Amino acid sequence: MESRRLFASRVLAAAAWAVASPVHGEPIDRAKTLQARFIAPCCWSESVAVHRSESAATMRAEIASMVASGSSDDDIVAFYVARHGERILLEPRGQKLTWLTVIPFAALGAGAVALARYLKRKRAAAAPEAAPAAPTVTVPDDELEW
């Protein structure tokens, strides 16, 4: 009897979960993807998707409702950029992203070139210069004392 109740409760729970979940996860996936694109405006340290604050929860709900109402990704991004500025974006757009990815590698390359030039100069300075050859003196054998 108890096993039948357990089985029935599991069947009911599975049915309730199947009815409550959407037929396809596209809107939920899209909302989560959008939430991961924004920084929580309360402390500017974590993505809205994972941050545990009231403002992040509000943003998650707003994004979900915008997605459900049919707003495009660009419209949602433009809405939050207009409200909070470019800082709200987890990854900067346009040239800022290019500069943030190019500058570190360019600085690393310039540092490597500077280090190579420094080491080359240091080795050249440390290498002993060839001393001028001493004049050779030849002494006739009869003047040598054996």
pTM recorded for the entire structure: 0.50
The C-alpha atoms of residue 71 and residue 121 are separated, in whole angstroms, by 62
> CATH number for the domain including 63?
1.10.8.640
The C-alpha atoms of residue 64 and residue 73 are separated, in whole angstroms, by 11
The C-alpha atoms of residue 66 and residue 71 are separated, in whole angstroms, by 5
**Are residues 25 and 75 both part of a single domain?**
yes
**Are residues 35 and 74 both part of a single domain?**
yes
Pick the closest to residue 83 from 48, 113, 114, 118 (CA basis). Answer: 48
**Are residues 41 and 70 both part of a single domain?**
yes
Per-residue pLDDT 10s for the chain (146 aa) are: 566 665 555 655 555 555 444 444 477 889 999 999 999 988 888 899 998 999 999 999 999 999 999 999 999 999 999 999 988 998 877 776 677 778 889 999 999 999 999 999 988 887 766 666 667 777 677 766 66
Domain that holds residue 116: 93-125
DSSP for residue 133:
P
**Are residues 23 and 80 both part of a single domain?**
yes
Element (H, E) at 146: none
**Are residues 108 and 66 both part of a single domain?**
no
**Are residues 26 and 75 both part of a single domain?**
yes
The structural domain count of the chain equals: 2
